[in-house]
Amino acid sequence: EVASSSPLLRNLNPEQLAAVTLPNTHALILAGAGSGKTRVLTTRIAWLLQTGQVSPGGILAVTFTNKAAKEMMVRLSSMLPVNVRGMWIGTFHGLCNRFLRAHYKLANLPSTFQILDTQDQLSAIKRLCKQFNIDDERFPPKQLMWFIAGCKEDGQRAKDVVVRDEETRKKAEIYALYEEQCQREGVVDFGELMLRSYELLRDNAPVREHYQRRFRHILIDEFQDTNKLQYAWIKMLAGQGDAAAAGTHAMPGGSVVAVGDDDQSIYAFRGARVGNMADFVREFDVQQQIKLERNYRSFGNILDSANELISHNSKRLGKNLRTEAGPGEPVRVFEATSDFAEAQWFVDEVRQLVRDGTERKEIALLYRSNAQSRVMETALFNNAIPYRVYGGLRFFERAEIKHALAYLRLMDNPHDDTSFMRIVNFPPRGIGMRSIEQLQDVARAAGCSLHDAVSAVSGKAGTNLGAFVAKLDVLREQTPGLSLREIIELVLQHSGLEEHYKLDKEGQDRLENLGELVNAAESFVSLEGFGRDAVALPIDELGVALRQSPASQGLDPSAPLGNELLPELLAPNQETGETLSPLAAFLTHAALESGDNQAQAGQDAVQLMTVHSSKGLEFDCVFISGLEDGIFPHENSLSDAGGIEEERRLMYVAITRARKRLYLTHSQTRMLHGQTRYNLKSRFFDELPEAALKWITPKNRGFAQAYGGNSGTWGASNSGAGGARGDWAAAAFASRKPVGETFANPVVPPQRNAPAHGLKTGMEVFHAKFGEGRVMMLEGSGDDARAQINFTRHGVKWLALSVAKLTVV
C-alpha cells in the first residue's frame, strides 16, 4: 500500500503508526512523557498532506508555545515540500490573533488593534484604578488583573459575572470599565484574543460554518493544559459547540485529534482543566483512544525514577512507560552546604561535561521558581560559561524596548492611551503628574483619547502637552512611504530616546538593545523577499536576528517559497485582501513574542529555565536544583494534597526532560528573598527508587563534610564583597539587577551539636512563629533530625530540629 510504504512512517512503532494513520475520526492519544506524542502529531500532519487527504489550508494545529509551533513547521518542511504558511499552526493566542485580524470588523475591532502583554495590562488597570479612585489596598491591581483574566478564561464578560457579594460587584464594575477602556483604545489583552474569537464563532453562523468546513483536521498538543475557553473554542470549530448542541444547523466539522498526558498537567493555577480530556471523550463520542507506552527519550534509571515518583499521585488516568534503552547511568544526587556551593559545584560539573564532549545547549538547569536562577547565573557568569535564561526578562519586555514600541504604536494609533501614558514624559520633558491628571480629567469628561484631549488643556501644562503631541503628529506625517527600518530609526532619533540613553552613564546596554530592535524589524520584514534562499526566524529572545541557512536546517533549498516560520502576519487578509502595514504587523509580533515563555536556542549555551517552561523539551543532561521542601515542592503547596500532587507532576515533567544524565541537587541553606533559609531535602527524594540513585555526597551527612566547607568556595570572594559586586554590576549585565546582598551576607551555619530532641509522634508542641502543632513524623538523628509537624494555623511543615526551637506543651 502507498500509505504504509511511505518513508514518513518507517520508524514508528505499531501504536504510533496507528495514531498517525487514523482515519478521519476524533481521537485521544494519552501517553506519558517522551513517548512520541508530539512526533506523532507532526507526522500525522505530514501523512495527511502526503496522501492527499487534506490540503495545507485544511489543517489547524495548536501547540503550547511559539517555539513549539516553529519547530513543528521546521519539521514539516523537512518532511515535505509544503507551504507551511498556509497552515494554521500556532499557539491558541497566535491563532486567535490571526483569526481576529482576518475578521476585525466583525469582531468590532480596529484594523490596527494592538495586543497588551501582561505588563501593559497591569499598567492599564493601574491607570484605570487611579482614574476612578479605586482603593488599591482593597483591590490590588494585580488581583484585579487575575480576576479579569479568570473571568475571560471562563468565557464571562463583566455583565455575566454572578454577583454574590459587594466585593464581586465592585470587581465586575471595574472589569466593565476595563472593557470599555480597552475598546476605546483599540487594544486587546491575551484573554481577550481568545474570548473575542470564541464569541465571534459563537455569534456569527456564516463565519463559524466557513471554518468548520475548512478545518478538516484539528490537532492539539499538550491537551491536558487547555482551559475551559480553549476547549469551548475547539468544540465550536469542530462543530460540537453550543450552537450545534442547541440544534441550529451547524455544519459538521472536522476531526479532532488531541494528545496529552494527565501526569504532566501543571497549569491548574492558570485555569487548565485536566477534566477536558474526559469531557472530550464524552462530548465528541471518542471511539479511538490510543496509548503509547514506549519511551524513546530517556534511559531506564531516569524513567524508573519518573515512574516511581508519579505512582505516589492518586488521581491518575493510569498508563505505563517503558524503555528499551537499558538502565544507563544512575541518577546523581548532590547535597551542598549552601546555594553558593551548589552553584559552584554545578559550574564545575558543567565544565567537566563540556570537556567530555557534551554540547552546552544539551545541558539544562531547571528550577522551581525564577528567583533561584540568580545565584546560578552569577556563578556561570563569573566562570565565563555562556548561558541563556528562558523566560527571564524577555527582549520585548525591557523598558527601553517598551518605550520605543510605545512611540511606534502611537504612530499607528494615536488613541492608544497606554502607550501615550508610558512616554508622555519619557524622556523627561517637564510634564508633571498634575498636568497628566488634568489631561485625564478632560479626556474622561469628553470621552475621548488623551491625544485628542490635549487641545482642551490650558496653561503651561497645555503648552507642554501640545508640544509633545505636535511632535508625535509630525513624526506620524513623515512615516508614509518609509520602510519599517526607517520608521524605527526616525522615531528613535526624534523621540529623544537615543539622545537620552547616550547621556545616561549606564545607557550603553540600552542603546545596543535599541539597535537590536532595528535589526529585529529588518529581519522581520525581509521575510517577504527572503523565502527562496533562507529560512528566517523573525527574532530570537535576546533580539539577535537569526538567519539560518536552509542547509543548517536540513531543508531543501529548491523547495517552494513559503518556508518562512512567521505566522502570516504580512499576508493579505483572506477575506478582504487587506494587508497589515509592516509596522502594525511588527508590533503584533512583538506583543505575541513577549507573551511566550521560551527562547530559541541560538549560540551554544547552557539552558536555564523553570520547570514550567521546560515542558515538551529534552536535553542530554538535566540538573534539577533546589530540591528542598518549601522550594520544590513549593511552600504554597504543602498544606493541601492537591497542591502536592501538582508539584509532583511538575517534578515528573522535570525528570523526564533528561535523555542520558540526570542530576538532583539540594542545599542545606539558601538565601531567598533576603533571608537565609534552612531547608530539608525534598520529600520527593523519598519517592524515588533507591536502586536508580547514586549519592555523590553521603546521604544524610552533617554540615561539616558538605561540599566546600562551611561557607563554601564563595567564602573567599565574600570577604571582598565590595569588589566582587562592583565587577559584577559593571559587567555587561548592567540592565539586570545587580546581585546585591547575595554577596554581602555570608552563610551562617546553624548551631551544631544540637541536644537530643526527645520528641515523639503525637506530642503537642509550640513554635515561636508557627504556634501550636502536633508532631506527625520524626526522621534522622543528631544534626539531621527533623520533624513533620501539623500546625493548627500554618499547616504541615518539616522542621530541622537542630535549628527550630520547639517546646513541648
CB of 75 to Mg ion, least distance (A): 12
Write down the catalytic residue from 117, 189, 222, 541: 222
**6-14, 73-81, 88-96, 402-410 -> range binding ligand ATP (CB under 6 A):** 6-14
**Cβ count within 10 A of residue 518:** 18
* 38 is annotated as an active-site residue: yes
List Cα–Cα distances, 683 to 47, 215, 644, 650, in angstroms: 45, 47, 10, 14
* 657 is annotated as an active-site residue: yes
Pick one of ligand ATP, Mg ion, none as the site partner of residue 301 (Cβ within 5 to 8 A by kind): none
Closest CA to 671 of 768, 735, 739: 739
CB of 36 to ligand ATP, least distance (A): 3
Q: Which is nearer to ligand ATP, 75 or 670 (CB)?
A: 75
Among 8, 19, 20, 33, binds ligand ATP (CB under 6 A): 33
Tell me the site size for ligand ATP, rule CB under 6 A. Answer: 19
* 221 is annotated as an active-site residue: yes
d(CA 130, CA 83): 49
**33-41, 52-60, 184-192, 798-806 -> range binding ligand ATP (CB under 6 A):** 33-41
Q: Which is nearer to ligand ATP, 451 or 659 (CB)?
A: 659
Q: Which residues contact 632 (CB under 8 A, 6 or more apart)?
A: 367, 368, 611, 624, 626, 647, 650, 651, 682, 684
Closest CA to 607 of 361, 305, 358, 289: 361
Beta strand ranges found along 56-127 (DSSP E): 59-62, 88-90, 114-116
CB–CB of 461/439 below 8 Å?
yes
**Cβ count within 10 A of residue 47:** 22
Among 34, 90, 271, 633, binds ligand ATP (CB under 6 A): 34
Among 15, 16, 323, 563, binds ligand ATP (CB under 6 A): 16
**495-503, 609-617, 637-645, 678-686 -> range binding Mg ion (CB under 5 A):** 609-617
CB of 535 to ligand ATP, least distance (A): 20
Element (H, E) at 146: helix 141-153
* 264 is annotated as an active-site residue: yes
CB–CB of 670/627 below 8 Å?
no
CB of 297 to ligand ATP, least distance (A): 4
- The three-state secondary structure class of 282 is helix
Write down the catalytic residue from 126, 216, 368, 657: 657
* 181 is annotated as an active-site residue: no
Q: Which is nearer to ligand ATP, 266 or 539 (CB)?
A: 266
Sort strands 693-695 and 764-767 into parallel, antiparallel or unpaired: unpaired
**Cβ count within 10 A of residue 437:** 13
d(CA 271, CA 300): 34
| Residue 625 interacts with Mg ion (CB under 5 A): yes or no | no
- The three-state secondary structure class of 19 is helix
Write down the catalytic residue from 21, 37, 101, 212: 37
**9-17, 103-111, 335-343, 472-480 -> range binding ligand ATP (CB under 6 A):** 9-17
CB of 793 to ligand ATP, least distance (A): 39
Q: Which residues contact 306 (CB under 8 A, 6 or more apart)?
A: 33, 298, 321, 652, 655, 656
Residues 589-628 as x/- pattern, contact with ligand ATP by CB under 6 A: ---------------------------x-x----------
Element (H, E) at 292: strand 288-292
Pick one of ligand ATP, Mg ion, none as the site partner of residue 261 (Cβ within 5 to 8 A by kind): ligand ATP
CB of 283 to ligand ATP, least distance (A): 24
Q: Which is nearer to ligand ATP, 220 or 411 (CB)?
A: 220
d(CA 581, CA 483): 10
Pick one of ligand ATP, Mg ion, none as the site partner of residue 595 (Cβ within 5 to 8 A by kind): none
Among 235, 273, 297, 786, binds ligand ATP (CB under 6 A): 297
**32-40, 308-316, 701-709, 752-760 -> range binding ligand ATP (CB under 6 A):** 32-40
Q: One-letter amino acid identity for 618?
A: E
| Residue 91 interacts with Mg ion (CB under 5 A): yes or no | no
d(CA 560, CA 546): 21
Pick one of ligand ATP, Mg ion, none as the site partner of residue 12 (Cβ within 5 to 8 A by kind): ligand ATP
Near ligand ATP in 35-54, by CB under 6 A: 35-39
CB–CB of 27/293 below 8 Å?
no
| Residue 260 interacts with ligand ATP (CB under 6 A): yes or no | no
Q: Which is nearer to ligand ATP, 16 or 449 (CB)?
A: 16
Closest CA to 410 of 443, 447, 450, 465: 450
d(CA 569, CA 579): 8
Binding site for Mg ion (CB under 5 A): 37-38, 616
Binding site for ligand ATP (CB under 6 A): 11-13, 16, 31, 33-39, 261, 264, 296-297, 616, 618, 656
Query: Mind telling me the catalytic residues?
Result: 37-38, 221-222, 264, 657
